[in-house]
Structure 1
Amino acid sequence: MEQKAHFVTVATSDLDEAREFYVTGLGWLPTLDVPGEIIFFQVGHGLMLGLFDARKFAADLNVSGSAATASAPNPSGFTLSHNVDSPAAVDKVMADAATAGATILKTAQPADFGGYHGHFADPNGAVWEVAHNPAWRVEDDGTVVLGTPND
């Protein structure tokens, strides 16, 4: 298996609320929207974010019993990260997310890695980090460089 991923899919307990947040609130454009099932957004070079109705997600995984009919638990143990060019851009994205209905988990502030960041949860609990890291960059070929503050 090659070291790459093309989709990140998150089980979503309320797909309509997720659509409202991302499309109406944040202004994202869906690549594919199947009402009642899944909505896809292209979020990077060759990378899609899928928000999948929790019940359909469970069925797709062949999960039976109460797990297949229950709402998805809030996603935990991971963050989706959005990196921007400046601390001011972090503040703007965090404010826009809050206006769109996000819950601010950590207000934007200086970070241990030498940058500036904050965290919010979308209406279904998916956690986003918004960060400015002056040592982090993406090369033209898509390679991510994780430098140190002294780079």
Structure 2
Amino acid sequence: MTPRVHFITLATPDLAAARAFYRDGLGWSPLLDVPGEIVFFQVGHGLVLGLFDADRFVGDIAGAVADTSLGGLTLSHNLDSPEEVDETVARLAALGAAVVKPPQTADFGGYHGHVRDPNGVTWEICHNPGWSIRADGTVRLGPVDADDEA
């Protein structure tokens, strides 16, 4: 089987707060927004992040999961500079995100901070100079070379 993911869906107890975090805090445009139910954001080539009202989520999977809380999961958003990290963390905090770790120099040689969204998902907001994406979409972890995109 070819490794790929098309949808990542997170149950959220407060869809309005989650919408504000992603739309207003991260600046993402909804692909589809059904008030009171779900909002989708395209987050990559063929990849959609869905934020699903927790009660509707439980109903959709026929009650197979009763606890929709999240833990042990971190998503990362890589930016072009430490200044963008500071600005983004401040904007998210102003929208009510919990700052878990203020922006600071990271062990990997970059700069990052961590915030928790209204779903309880921890986001690493970072600048990683060793992260690049090649023209074919493959990720490179390490020094940038001539085949990498800026």
Alignment match of 1:101 (pick from 96, 102, 112): 96
**SS at structure 2 position matched to 1:123:** coil
Question: Which residues of 2 match residues 1-151 of structure 1 at below 5 A?
Answer: 1-63=1-63, 67=66, 72-73=68-69, 75-147=70-142
Report the AA paired with residue 32 of structure 2: L
Question: Which blocks of at least 5 consecutive residues in structure 2 are unaligned?
Answer: 145-150
Pair 145,107 (structure 1): closer, same or farther in 2 beyond 3 Å: same
Distance 2:11 2:142 in 1: 33
Q: Percent identity?
A: 58
Q: Is the 8 A contact 2:25 2:88 kept in 1?
A: no
Q: Is the 8 A contact 2:12 2:118 kept in 1?
A: no
Task: Return the TM-score normalized by structure 1.
Answer: 0.85
Q: Is the 8 A contact 1:105 1:119 kept in 2?
A: yes
Report the AA paired with residue 31 of structure 2: T
Distance 2:18 2:88 in 1: 17
Task: Return the TM-score normalized by structure 2.
Answer: 0.86
**SS at structure 1 position matched to 2:92:** helix
